[in-house]
Amino acid sequence: MNKHISIAIGADHAGFEFKNILIDFLKEYRVKDFGTYSINSVDYPDFAHPVASAVENAEFTIGILICGSANGVAMTANKHQGIRAAICWNEELAELARSHNDANILCIPARFISPALAKQICSKFITTQFEGGRHANRVNKISC
């Protein structure tokens, strides 16, 4: 188990199946499932806020949120001051979100990518480090 990285994960009904696939894929990490626990219709903020709070409070290193478009969970998570949630639909975006923006929550659009691509995006997001330097000045200006 990789003890240096811990992951808070949550999804609405549209992301439920991807969430379960990713939890299994990420078994080398400490992962906490914040729900939902079925395909029954739910409201994405009910899962995005707890994941964002857990990352913001440093209970987990990063978060992963999944909904149909990823827009709803990203908008919700980004209401938290310490969160930089990024919608990523390919590996390059995941890499840039981490290396340039120090993103701490990955938002995945389940209706627009495959589970295999979601796994690749997660791997890239988790393994990419923030570059700091000129990017740190920019990141430090994000919070209000």
Q: Where in the sequence numbering do the catalytic residues fall?
A: 100
Nearest alpha-carbon partner for 103 in 82, 73, 79 = 82
Yes or no: say if 91 and 127 are a contact pair by the CB < 8 Å rule: no
Tracing tokens 């739910």 back to the chain, one arrives at 42
Beta strand 2-11 with 62-67: parallel, antiparallel or unpaired? Answer: parallel
Q: Which residues have C-beta within 8 Å of that of residue 61, sequence separation ≥ 6?
A: 4, 5, 6, 7, 55, 104
Strands of 105-109's sheet, edge to edge?
Answer: 29-33, 2-11, 62-67, 105-109, 85-87
The two tokens of residue 51 are 């994941």
